[in-house]
């Protein structure tokens, strides 16, 4: 396919992250010829989700990428004319740093897990400041200060094949390409048929604590869908509105976040959110319930009562809460679990706005304001890529771009030259930040995000149901430090195997990810220990496996910070540290209107049954739509593909 790419497009998009995918879908939907490229072998970039073996492959690829030196100059220089100049693009991804992996689970009875034997070779490379000396650890990276990364390779003889009953075959095919692994088959230890279905939530008898081994995690690795960027969807947020408006929501399924938790005085507590939760709460006294309801009612229309907060606009939100005669526990709940803000940096107005947004999102789809996409956050960029493809967009993964070609006279970008030496022309170019070279980004000051991914055996707050999706904010211990946001996912989200939980930790970076997050992990989890095998009840969940890494946050970078970019080259940023994806949606819509000011952003697609074709097999204009709605569907086959895709993927 790469050898026969067309040479003329309207828009070329580089990178398949969320903002780029939304832009590609919007451009294709408006009738533009779109070429969507990604140098990686999977969709999503830093918004991607991986199976467990796919994540290990990603770590290995990251190590090899870091160890690879500069490539020799390619032959693209000969393709630059005298009236043109080239802007070289970055040859390797430098957005991930300080990746460290620790395996705490025992090997189990399966002695064929080769990577465990390999891990035992260099246990000394793990620093003494880790939670506990990992049972099996070895260096993945040889960088001087990037710490100690454990290298895993999944052996072929123990790699199961996939026979998961996924009804959406298109989604299954995307996942196969996603992780770059062979097809795996899932088997269950008790010999029963392995199916993907949510666990039953009404367990009459509390289950006995099971011991999860690393060999089990490897064998069930295809059941994991691990997000690089941990996000949730606000039920009244911009992304939900866009998914519904564009009908892209039919390509995905979602579950409600079931609990909002708080960490106070060393304990995890559930936060009452809705009116029913407040009055049913056993943690609050009757006086506290009335105080909380009165304050939350005020926050819903705080703009109508400026006299209540006008004198505190220069104060922090935490100081303002102290003046409202709220008890310390209520102040903690509102600040960290409802407004989800920091004590020092959040102003009163910002805190009231965040609290109002939280309350407005309640009740639309459940008792909490948040939704989570089944199979992970990486499904969302893929959904928009599907929309782009339905309307004629062309996709190429593993397709690197060497340079942008700029016309000296006009200063506008004319074309790209790919790794095959093919020159492809376009009018507009959309580039993800990581594709830009060091020279272009020489004046850019990036922030960093500290991330941790944990596999545990129990929830941080056990209840009768083992299928809880929870969000927890751990406030900083020291003044000026950052709060840590924790998202805990159960197996019914299709992101982890049965009897385990997938836990994501996120905060703004001040040091390496492990230095920022390790203290929080110590408070909430107990590393696996062979001496505790006989104990059925432990005070904390057991930590089986952990990954720490730092991710670049380019969300605050303005266009003027980049050097020498042509006017028709637009830059999209990677994931930010926020809980939602509002920044990505706003950025995509803003850039779309800059490129096509007269076009509607992601209008609803036509119903396939309303599409008619004349004798020349050219699409006629459907009633109530504009002339460019079906510009990409130029044959009856295209209509059938759209219809079958909609029926196949709709749920």
Distance from chain centroid for Cα 82: 43
Coil, strand, or helix at residue 38? coil
Residue 317 lies in a domain: no
Average pLDDT of the segment spanning 435-441: 92
For residue 278, the surrounding DSSP H or E stretch is helix 275-280
Check whether 600 has a pLDDT greater than 60.
Answer: yes
Q: How many CB atoms lie within 10 A of CB 322?
A: 12
Check whether 163 has a pLDDT greater than 80.
Answer: no
Q: What is the pLDDT of residues 370-415, one digit of tens each?
A: 999 999 999 999 999 999 999 999 999 999 999 999 999 999 999 9
- The full 3-state SS of 599-646, as one line of letters, equals CCCCCCCCCHHHCCECCCCCECCCCCCCCCCCCCCCCHHHHHHHHHHH
Check whether 342 has a pLDDT greater than 90.
Answer: no
Across the chain, what does the average pLDDT equal?
Answer: 79
Residue 28 lies in a domain: yes
Residue 566 lies in a domain: yes
DSSP code per residue over 493-509: GTSS-TT-EEEEEEEE-
Residue 402 lies in a domain: yes
pLDDT at position 424 is 94
Average pLDDT of the segment spanning 5-30: 96
45 φ/ψ sector (left φ>0, alpha ψ -120 to 50, else beta): left
Of 650, 16, 416, nearest to 25 by C-alpha is 16
Backbone angles phi, psi at 605, to 5 degrees: -75, 155
pLDDT at position 68 is 53
DSSP code per residue over 149-203: -------STT--------S-HHHHHHHHHHHT--------TTS------PPPS--
pLDDT band at 120 (very low <50, low <70, confident <90, very high): very low
Q: What is the CATH number of the domain that holds 57?
A: 3.50.50.60
pLDDT at position 614 is 55
Residue 391 lies in a domain: yes
Residue 499, both tokens: 């009897």
pLDDT band at 92 (very low <50, low <70, confident <90, very high): confident
Residue 200 lies in a domain: no
Q: What is the pLDDT of residues 533-552, one digit of tens each?
A: 445 556 789 999 999 999 99
Instruction: Measure Cα distances from 186 to 51, 177, 197 in Å.
Output: 13, 18, 14
Count: domains in the chain: 1
Check whether 207 has a pLDDT greater than 70.
Answer: no
CA distance 586 to 576: 13
Check whether 111 has a pLDDT greater than 50.
Answer: no
Residue 504 lies in a domain: no
Q: Which domain holds residue 48?
A: 8-93+375-445+555-595
Residue 147 lies in a domain: no
């Amino acid at each position: 396919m790469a050898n026969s790419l067309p040479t003329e497009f309207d828009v070329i998009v580089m990178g398949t992250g969320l903002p780029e995918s939304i832009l590609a879908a919007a451009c294709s939907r408006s009738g533009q010829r779109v070429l969507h490229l990604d140098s990686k072998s999977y969709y999503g970039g830093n918004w991607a989700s991986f199976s467990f073996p796919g994540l290990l492959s990603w770590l290995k690829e990251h190590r090899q990428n870091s160890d690879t030196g500069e490539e020799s100059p390619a032959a693209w220089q000969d393709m630059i004319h005298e009236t043109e100049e080239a802007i070289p693009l970055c040859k390797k991804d430098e957005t991930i740093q300080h990746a460290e992996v620790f395996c705490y689970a025992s090997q189990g009875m399966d002695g064929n897990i080769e990577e465990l034997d390999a891990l035992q070779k260099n246990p000394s490379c793990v620093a003494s400041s880790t939670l506990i000396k990992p049972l099996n650890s070895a260096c993945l990276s040889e960088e001087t200060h990037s710490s100690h990364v454990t290298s895993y390779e999944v052996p072929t003889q123990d790699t199961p094949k996939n026979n998961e009953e996924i009804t959406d075959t298109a989604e299954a095919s995307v996942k196969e390409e996603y992780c770059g692994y062979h097809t795996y088959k899932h088997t269950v230890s008790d010999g029963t048929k392995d199916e993907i279905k949510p666990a039953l939530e009404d367990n009459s008898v509390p289950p006995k604590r099971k011991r999860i081994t690393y060999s089990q995690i490897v064998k069930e690795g295809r059941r994991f869908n691990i997000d690089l960027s941990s996000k949730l969807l606000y039920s009244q947020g911009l992304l939900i509105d866009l998914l519904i408006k564009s009908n892209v929501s039919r390509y995905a399924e979602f579950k409600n976040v079931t609990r909002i938790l708080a960490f106070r005085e060393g304990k995890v507590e559930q936060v009452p959110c809705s009116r029913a939760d407040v009055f049913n709460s056993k943690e609050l006294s009757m006086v506290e319930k009335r105080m909380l309801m009165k304050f939350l009612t005020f926050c819903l229309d705080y703009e109508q009562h400026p006299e209540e907060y006008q004198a505190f606009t220069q104060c922090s939100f935490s100081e303002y809460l102290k003046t409202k005669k709220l008890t310390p526990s209520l102040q903690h709940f509102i600040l960290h679990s409802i407004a989800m803000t920091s004590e020092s940096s959040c102003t009163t107005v910002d805190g009231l706005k965040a609290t109002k947004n939280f309350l407005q999102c309640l009740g639309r789809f459940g008792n909490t304001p948040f939704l989570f996409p089944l199979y992970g956050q990486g499904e969302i960029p893929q959904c928009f890529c599907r929309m782009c493809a339905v309307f004629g967009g062309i996709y190429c993964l593993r397709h690197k771009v060497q340079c942008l070609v700029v016309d000296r006279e006009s200063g506008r970008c004319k074309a790209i030259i790919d790794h095959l030496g093919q020159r492809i022309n376009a009018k507009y170019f959309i580039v993800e930040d990581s594709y830009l070279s060091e020279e272009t980004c020489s004046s850019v000051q990036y922030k960093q995000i500290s991330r941790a991914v944990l596999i545990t055996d129990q929830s941080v707050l056990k209840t009768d149901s083992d299928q809880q999706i929870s969000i927890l904010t751990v406030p900083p211990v020291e003044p000026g430090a950052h709060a840590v946001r924790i998202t805990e996912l159960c197996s019914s989200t299709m992101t982890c195997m049965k009897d385990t939980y997938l836990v994501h930790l996120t905060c703004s970076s001040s040091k390496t990810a492990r230095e920022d997050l390790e203290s929080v992990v110590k408070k909430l989890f107990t590393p696996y220990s062979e001496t505790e095998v006989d104990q059925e009840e432990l005070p904390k969940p057991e930590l089986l496996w952990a990954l720490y890494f730092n991710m670049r946050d380019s969300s605050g970078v303005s266009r003027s910070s980049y050097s020498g970019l042509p006017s028709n080259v637009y830059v999209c940023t990677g994931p930010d540290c926020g809980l939602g994806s509002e920044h990505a949606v706003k950025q995509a819509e803003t850039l779309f209107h800059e490129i096509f000011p007269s076009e509607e952003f992601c209008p609803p697609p036509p119903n396939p049954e309303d599409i008619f074709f004349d004798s020349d097999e050219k699409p006629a204009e459907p009633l109530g739509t504009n002339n460019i709605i079906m510009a990409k569907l130029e044959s009856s086959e295209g209509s059938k593909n759209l219809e079958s895709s909609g029926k196949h993927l709709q749920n």
